[in-house]
A and B are shown apart, each in its own frame.
Chain A
Amino acid sequence: MKKLRKLSALSPFGLALALVAPTTALAQNLCNVTYTTANSWGNGAQIGVSVKNNGAAVSSWQLCWALRGSEAIANLWDGTLTTSGSNVCVSNAGYNGNLPTNGTAQFGFIINNPVASAPTAFTLNGASCSGTATSSTPASSTPASSLSSSSASSTAPQTAARWLLEAGKSSFHFVAVKNISTAETFTFNQLQGTVASNGNATLSIPLASISTGFDIRNTRMQNLLFESSYLPQLHFTTQLDLAALDALPVGAIQVQSMTGNLILHAVSKAITFDATIVKHSNTSISVSPRRPIVVNSVDFEMNAGVEALRVVANLSSIGEKTPVYFKMFLTRDNPTNIAAISLPAAPAAPASLMGNLSQVTGDASLNWADVSSTETGFLIRRRGADGRWTTQSNLPANSASFTENLLSAYGSYDYKVIGYRDSVPSLASNSISLVYSNGQSSSSSSSVGSTGSLSSASSLSSSSSSSSSGGNGELIGDVTRGASLWTSQSCVACHGVDGEKNANGTPAFSPLNPNRSVYRHTQDTQDRSLRDFIAMWMPQTDPGSCTGQCAADLEAYILTWRRPADGIPDNPVANFSCPSDVSPYGQRTLRLLTKQEYQRSVRDLVGYTQDVISRLPDDFIAGAFTNNNTLLVDKNRYTSYISTAERIATDVATRWNAVLACSPSTTCADKLVSDLAPRIFRRPLTSDEQTAYRGVARGTTGGRTVAQGMEVALAAMLSSPQFLYRSELGNPSGAGYKLDGYEMATFMSYTFTGTTPSADLLAAAGRGDLNTIAGVRQQAALLLNSANTRVLLGDFVNRWLGTEQLEIKEKTGVANFATLANDMKLELGKNFSQAMLSSGSTFASVYNPSYTHVNQRLATLYGLSFNASGADADGFVSTAAGDRGGILLSGAFMSRYASATDANMVTRAVALRRRMMCQDIPEPPSGVSLDREALAARDKEFFENPHTTQRMIFDRITSGTSCSNCHGEIINPLGGTMENYDTLGRLRSVDLKGNAINAAGTFFSPFPQLQFLNDPDRVIHSPAIQVNGGKDLARTIVEDPMVSSLAQSCLATQFVSYSTGIHSIFLIDSTRDVGYSRISKAEENAYRCDVADLTNVLTTRGPRAMLEEIPALDSVMYRREWAR
Chain B
Amino acid sequence: MRYKDCFDKERRDFLKVVSHAGIAAGLIQASSMLAGVMLARTAEAQTGTPTKHCLVFNGGGCHPTRWFPTGSTLPVQSAPLQTHYSRIALLRNASLSGAGHGVMFHRFNNGSWSEDSFDVNLGRTIGANYPVKYLNLGTTAESALSREGFNGRPLITSPQAALDVLFSGGSGSSGGSGTAPRKSVVDLHYSAISSLRTKLGQHEKDKLDSHFTAIREIETAIDSGGSNSGGSCPTLSNTTASGFDATAKLHADIVALALSCNLTASASIAFGTDAHTHFLDVLGRESHQSHHNQGNMPNAYTEDIVYMQGLTRYLMDKINERGLFGSTIVTQVSDMGDADSHGNSNVPMLVAGAGITGGRVVDIGGKTQSELYQTIGLKLRADQSPNGSVYRNWASSTITGL
Contact = CB atoms under 8 A, between A and B. Distances in A.
B184 interface: yes
A809 interface: yes
A810 B283 CA distance: 10
Contacts of B285: 810, 900
Nearest to B168: A643
A1064 B141 CA distance: 18
B154 A927 contact: no
A653 to B, nearest CB: 11
A779 B139 CA distance: 41
A939 B214 contact: no
B165 A639 contact: yes
Nearest to A719: B185
A924 B200 contact: no
Interface string A616-660: 111111100000001111111111101111100010000000000
A621 B100 contact: no
Interface string B337-349: 0101111110000
A633 B340 CA distance: 40
Interface in B187-211: 187-189, 191-193, 195-196, 199-200, 203-204, 206-208, 210-211
Given A632-B207, A642-B185, A925-B100, A616 B279 contact: no
Nearest to B163: A615
B196 to A, nearest CB: 6
A721 B187 CA distance: 12
A826 B297 CA distance: 37
Given A618-B161, A621-B141, A646-B172, A923 B185 contact: no
A705 B150 contact: no
B388 interface: no
B164 A618 contact: no
Contacts of B207: 590, 632-633
Contact of A1075 (B113, B157, B240): B113
B229 interface: no
A729 B199 CA distance: 9
A243 interface: no
B310 interface: no
Contacts of A729: 199-200
Contact of B101 (A617, A621, A924, A957): A924
A924 B281 CA distance: 26
Nearest to A614: B158
Given A635-B218, A712-B175, A899-B289, A615 B164 contact: yes
Nearest to A725: B196
A617 B161 contact: yes
Interface string B206-223: 111011011101100000
Contact of B183 (A640, A702, A957, A1076): A702
Contact of A810 (B105, B279, B293): B279
Given A621-B141, A722-B192, A634 B214 contact: yes
B185 A715 contact: yes
B334 to A, nearest CB: 13
B279 A932 contact: no
B142 A621 contact: yes
A704 B183 CA distance: 13
Interface stretch (A83-91, A333-341, A478-486, A688-696): A688-696
Query: Which one of B104, B161, B165, B279 has the greatest number of beta carbons of chain A within 10 Å?
Result: B161
Nearest to B240: A614
B294 A643 contact: no
Contacts of B105: 1074-1076
A1076 B111 CA distance: 9
B355 interface: no
Interface in A667-713: 686, 688-689, 692-693, 696, 699, 701-705, 708, 711-713
A491 to B, nearest CB: 26
Given A617-B161, A632-B207, A923 B191 contact: no
Nearest to B29: A635
A617 B137 CA distance: 10
A953 interface: yes
Nearest to A956: B294
Nearest to A938: B295
B284 A810 contact: yes
Interface in A88-147: none
A616 B156 CA distance: 9
A959 interface: no
Contacts of B292: 932, 957
B188 A696 contact: yes
A708 B151 contact: no
Contact of A928 (B208, B214, B295, B341): B341
B295 A939 contact: yes
A929 B164 CA distance: 46
B367 interface: no
A618 to B, nearest CB: 4
B181 interface: yes
Given A692-B191, A810-B285, A704 B175 contact: yes
Contact of A631 (B154, B176, B184, B195): B154
Contact of B184 (A636, A712, A1076): A712
B350 to A, nearest CB: 20
A1031 interface: no
B169 A635 contact: yes
Nearest to B281: A808
A1073 B177 CA distance: 54
A615 B341 contact: no
Contact of B179 (A616, A630, A702): A702
B214 A702 contact: no
B164 A639 contact: yes
A929 B340 contact: yes
Interface in B45-74: none
A943 B344 CA distance: 28
Given A712-B184, A899-B289, A927 B204 contact: no
Contacts of A588: 203-204
A925 B152 contact: no
B365 interface: no
A313 interface: no
A880 interface: no
Contacts of B286: 808-810
Query: Which one of A589, A619, A622, A715 has the greatest number of beta carbons of chain B within 10 Å?
Result: A715
B135 to A, nearest CB: 8
Given A620-B154, A923-B103, A702 B336 contact: no
A640 B182 CA distance: 13
Given A712-B185, A932-B297, A932-B340, A620 B172 contact: no
Interface in A798-856: 805, 808-810
A703 B177 contact: yes
A936 interface: yes
A1121 interface: yes
Contacts of A719: 185, 189
B161 A716 contact: no
B172 A590 contact: no
B357 interface: no
B22 interface: no
Interface of A: 588-590, 613-622, 630-640, 642-646, 650, 686, 688-689, 692-693, 696, 699, 701-705, 708, 711-713, 715-716, 719-722, 725, 729, 805, 808-810, 899-900, 923-930, 932-933, 936, 939-940, 943-944, 953, 957, 1073-1077, 1121
Given A809-B279, A1076-B113, 8 more contacts: A615-B161, A616-B161, A630-B151, A639-B165, A805-B279, A933-B297, A1076-B150, A1077-B150
Q: Which 10 A-B pairs have the closest CB atoms?
A: A1075-B105, A703-B178, A929-B341, A638-B214, A632-B210, A943-B295, A702-B179, A618-B154, A1075-B144, A926-B99
25 contacts: A615-B164, A617-B165, A618-B158, A632-B207, A635-B169, A635-B213, A636-B132, A638-B215, A639-B164, A642-B218, A692-B191, A704-B178, A711-B175, A716-B185, A721-B192, A721-B193, A923-B102, A924-B342, A927-B99, A928-B342, A930-B341, A936-B296, A943-B294, A1075-B103, A1077-B113
